[in-house]
A and B are shown apart, each in its own frame.
Chain A
Amino acid sequence: MITASSEDLYKVEKKDLFASGHRACGGCGQALAARLVADAAGENTIACVATGCLEIFSSPYPDPSWRIPFLHSLFENISAVASGVEAAYKALKKGPVNIIAQGGDGGTADIGFQSISGMFERGHNVLYVCYDNEAYMNTGVQRSSFTPFGAKTTTTPMGNTTRKKNLPLIAADHGIPYVATATVDDFRDLQRKVKTALLINGPKYLHILAPCPLGWGHTGDLTVAICRLAKATGLFPVYEIINGKVANVLKIQEKKPVEDYLRLQGRYRHLFKKGVPVKEVAEIQEIANQNIERFNL
């Protein structure tokens, strides 16, 4: 099924298909992720982007950052639009072309959930990339169903009380051939996953953790370091699910306590009273431990 040599897959791509001049904040994880995805996918790609930060900062007229065809749609229907693009190519007997639907966590897991589920179920040959920054950052940091337990948003000022929706596993349970998670710190791994996914026929889902300096309350220079901690604490497991089987789980080399991760971010500041962690921290640690056990990190 996968025809390209593994050497090609591991090659790091930098083609500047997502160019400078976009209006993202300094240190934006999503901008970094979008560029890595576009460069990995290459020129023969159509980017369908849902409403959200990415669309706002990358596509103001007249100087969009995209150097590949770009299609903007509503918050809730980008999967449906991408499905339509794919169906149109099929009907016109054109292509092949890489179709990548992209959205933030709100557009994917809350508002766009119905359409993404439909796209998976109908089996369109589309790669869906979700940039997970764990809240509605575009509209001013409101809670989404990807907001992790304990995180402060403007709609959960005392900290979120529910746990994060596990969309990669939901996607995998649609029976789609390829699901993967990635973070922006390991660009080699991220680009390999994009390239692998594009070689597979059928719906694919790639979940990328993309820190938001503004919403998470950290300085822009920590974007990569925070991703690394999210992996090392076990809060963000990195794995692939190929044809329903979990594979290539990234093992934690040196396990860190969740406190290391939480203390760097302003959205968790209320979990430390005068520097001493409150009981919610123990529950977040419990979530990390469950992840480690579940995915054998």
Chain B
Amino acid sequence: MNKLPLGLAVDLRNVVPYKTGSWRTMKPLNIMQTPPCSHSCPINNDIRGFLRLLADKQDFDEAWHVLTRSNPLPATCGRVCPHPCEGGCNRRDFDYPLAINSAERAVGDYGLEKHLEHKKLIPKRKEKVAVIGSGPAGLSCAFHLAKRGFQVKIFEAKGEPGGMMRYGIPSYRLPQEVLTREIEAILRLGIDLECNAKVGVNIPMDQLTQFYDAVFMGVGAQLGVPIGVPGEEARGVYTGVDFLKLVNSGKSVEVGRDVVVVGGGNTAMDSARVAKRLGANVCVVYRRTRVEMPAITAEIDEAMEERIMFRYHTNPVKIIADEGRVVGLLCVQMELKEPDASGRARPVPIPGSEAVIPADTVIMATGQAVDYDGLEVQRIDNKWISTNEVQMTSIDKVFAGGDAVLGLETVSAAIGQGMRAAEAIEDYVEGQVESRLSPPPVIYSKDLNTYYYKKSNRFQREALPVHIRLKGFSEIYPAFDRSEITREAERCFSCGLCFNCANCYMYCPDNAVKKGKSGTTYEFDLDFCKGCGLCAKECPCHYIQMTLEK
């Protein structure tokens, strides 16, 4: 033993520090929580994850893989999704929400440009699943099953895969090329595709349930439903779905000079804007007002930019035809009364307010329905397929999702349903009964310490000028600059996940926050932590939370 210096009774080098951790009643914990963007996303995309990759490493490659863990169609969703994620973004209460949708499109486009391939999670398993319909729901279900090793076959009634994305969305919003290549990437997971095979007509449903371990129905709502006014059989009257299908299949449609579109949903907006691009004067007739329109707000704005006329409080009464060809639409003015069951104001006609709108073409975008030809499943209101909580229909081992179940919804909602159905099918095939882990709680603005964030402007995508847009079907928003997208990603608050700001490390009065082994994470030294909660309070993203000491 070394001799102690004069006056010392204890060798200070061997003294064990006093463990102040015993004073604690609360202790800090790193808790990863759900950011509101992922929570609002129908697919629960890991938005925070891919944005952080873009911000920290400018790694579009890895970001694409993170995004396609849940969403097989990022380039498509980046164009057509009404982005509820941005509505949820906590940055909304601070300055402006992040341009998540644009970032998604940039990442999706990068994946297409570099021909990135999806990765399989499980190489191969023997179970076989049939998917009816190759719309967003069917593709998503097939994708998630194929990634888990299932042998998947898609039956598509039409000539090309894509469903409503191919036949219902005009190419100025979603170029066919983008969709085709994204679908090809999905099919390269080893998915069989049989086109022109309509289940219930060409192939009986029984055959599928017999040969496959499970069946997914993503049949969509392909039938246009007119509202039933006299004269609908006249030439020049289309349903919105049929009209878009004709144009998207490359058939030439003569719309004439004046086009009247009836309805206020997304199909109505698309039909109107397509008709405008075909050279017509377009008027949208809707019986309520803009506020009640179910269409995506941005779509209405863009339609207005393109000088499409809107007539609110107007309802068609009769289609006027001359020699079997439509020449006008007799309409009546409506007034809005107390709300109906849907929560929207109930329109009531004003007597004596009839007027004729001249029209060479009338497009009835007033509703869509499921084509049940040869399919016998239990329905709700005789309209939509009825499913249980794991999306199984009334037929055993037949699952369903997408517009046919939800009613009319978005591409992303259908993808989300396809994904959840795939999980349910996996559980069903494996005989799992336990429910999957529910995601952690959501973080809202009130939980964040926004002092540490700087206010900044949102990425603004630039639209083509209207006169160029109307010349053809070229995409409205040209490709984005990637460096601007990474700069936008840096605005992400990273709600609920450490982004290495080191506040906890610097502020702990007890030095009880230590750097982790990797140097990018922080750990609590519970021997000394007194549980004051300063780290949790000063954590900008609420990743640190105080919990009761056991």
Please tell me which stretch of A109-117, A175-183, A222-230 contacts chain B, meaning at least 4 of its Cβ atoms lie within 8 angstroms of it: A222-230
Residues of B within 8 A of A228 (CB): 451
Q: Is the C-beta of B218 less than 8 angstroms from some C-beta in chain A?
A: no
Q: Is the C-beta of B483 less than 8 angstroms from some C-beta in chain A?
A: no
State in angstroms the CA–CA spacing of A63 and B10 once bound together: 10
Residue A22 contacts which of B505, B510, B525 (CB distance < 8 angstroms)?
A: B510
Residues of B within 8 A of A225 (CB): 537-538
CB distance from A18 to the nearest CB of B (A): 7
Q: A224-B537, A224-B538, A225-B537 are in contact. Are A62 and B12 (CB under 8 A)?
A: yes
List B residues 1-55 near A (Cβ within 8 Å): 10, 12, 15-20, 23-24
Residues of A within 8 A of B532 (CB): 25-28, 213, 219-221, 223
State in angstroms the CA–CA spacing of A35 and B534 once bound together: 15
Query: In the complex the two chains form, is B531's CB within 8 Å of A26's CB?
Result: yes
Query: In the complex the two chains form, is B509's CB within 8 Å of A32's CB?
Result: yes
List A residues 15-32 near B (Cβ within 8 Å): 16, 18-29, 31-32
Q: Is the C-beta of A187 less than 8 angstroms from some C-beta in chain B?
A: yes
Residue B18 contacts which of A12, A23, A221 (CB distance < 8 angstroms)?
A: A23
Q: Is the C-beta of B198 less than 8 angstroms from some C-beta in chain A?
A: no
State in angstroms the CA–CA spacing of A21 and B15 once bound together: 11
Query: In the complex the two chains form, is B17's CB within 8 Å of A63's CB?
Result: yes
State in angstroms the CA–CA spacing of A26 and B530 once bound together: 5
CB distance from B501 to the nearest CB of A (A): 12
Residues of A within 8 A of B19 (CB): 21
CB distance from A10 to the nearest CB of B (A): 14
Residues of A within 8 A of B24 (CB): 26
Residues of A within 8 A of B23 (CB): 26
Count A-side interface residues using an 8 Å CB cutoff: 35
Query: In the complex the two chains form, is B509's CB within 8 Å of A29's CB?
Result: yes
Q: Is the C-beta of B432 less than 8 angstroms from some C-beta in chain A?
A: no
State in angstroms the CA–CA spacing of A62 and B510 once bound together: 18
Q: For the complex, would chain A's binding face be called helix, strand, loop or mixed by DSSP majority?
A: loop
Query: In the complex the two chains form, is A221's CB within 8 Å of B536's CB?
Result: yes
List A residues 56-104 near B (Cβ within 8 Å): 60-65
Q: Is the C-beta of B512 less than 8 angstroms from some C-beta in chain A?
A: yes
State in angstroms the CA–CA spacing of A25 and B25 once bound together: 13
Residues of A within 8 A of B17 (CB): 19-21, 63, 65
Q: Is the C-beta of B211 less than 8 angstroms from some C-beta in chain A?
A: no
Query: In the complex the two chains form, is B511's CB within 8 Å of A12's CB?
Result: no
Query: In the complex the two chains form, is A35's CB within 8 Å of B533's CB?
Result: no
Residue B506 contacts which of A18, A22, A60, A187 (CB distance < 8 angstroms)?
A: A187
Query: In the complex the two chains form, is A220's CB within 8 Å of B533's CB?
Result: yes
Q: A224-B534, A224-B537 are in contact. Are A18 and B511 (CB under 8 A)?
A: yes
Residue B534 contacts which of A12, A22, A23, A223 (CB distance < 8 angstroms)?
A: A223
Residues of A within 8 A of B538 (CB): 224-225
Q: A63-B15, A220-B532 are in contact. Are A20 and B506 (CB under 8 A)?
A: no
How many A-B contacts if CB must be within 8 Å? 91
Query: In the complex the two chains form, is A222's CB within 8 Å of B537's CB?
Result: yes
CB distance from B32 to the nearest CB of A (A): 21
Query: In the complex the two chains form, is A221's CB within 8 Å of B511's CB?
Result: no
State in angstroms the CA–CA spacing of A27 and B20 once bound together: 13
Residues of B within 8 A of A32 (CB): 507-509
Q: Is the C-beta of B528 less than 8 angstroms from some C-beta in chain A?
A: yes
B512, B534, B537 interface centre (most CB from chain A within 10 Å): B534
Residues of A within 8 A of B546 (CB): 221
Q: Is the C-beta of A14 less than 8 angstroms from some C-beta in chain B?
A: yes
Residues of B within 8 A of A27 (CB): 509, 530, 532-534
Residues of B within 8 A of A24 (CB): 509-510
A18, A26, A62, A222 interface centre (most CB from chain B within 10 Å): A26
Query: In the complex the two chains form, is A22's CB within 8 Å of B15's CB?
Result: no
State in angstroms the CA–CA spacing of A246 and B532 once bound together: 36
Query: In the complex the two chains form, is A221's CB within 8 Å of B534's CB?
Result: yes
Query: In the complex the two chains form, is B18's CB within 8 Å of A31's CB?
Result: no
Query: In the complex the two chains form, is A187's CB within 8 Å of B507's CB?
Result: yes
CB distance from A83 to the nearest CB of B (A): 25
Query: In the complex the two chains form, is B18's CB within 8 Å of A21's CB?
Result: yes
Residues of A within 8 A of B530 (CB): 25-27, 220
- 1/0 per residue B486-520: CB within 8 Å of A? 00000000000000001001111111100000000
Residues of B within 8 A of A25 (CB): 530, 532
- 1/0 per residue A218-262: CB within 8 Å of B? 011111110010000000000000000000000000000000000
Give A contacts to B, CB under 8 Å: 12, 14, 16, 18-29, 31-32, 35-36, 60-65, 187, 213, 219-225, 228
Inter-chain pairs besides A21-B18, A225-B537, 14 sampled, C-beta below 8 Å:
A18-B511, A19-B511, A20-B525, A25-B532, A26-B530, A27-B532, A27-B534, A32-B507, A36-B506, A63-B17, A63-B18, A220-B530, A221-B532, A228-B451
A-B contact pairs, 13 of them (CB 8 A): A12-B502, A12-B506, A19-B511, A21-B18, A26-B530, A27-B530, A27-B533, A31-B510, A36-B506, A60-B18, A63-B15, A63-B18, A220-B530
* A-B residue pairs, 8 tightest by C-beta: A220-B532, A26-B532, A21-B17, A221-B533, A27-B532, A20-B528, A26-B530, A221-B537
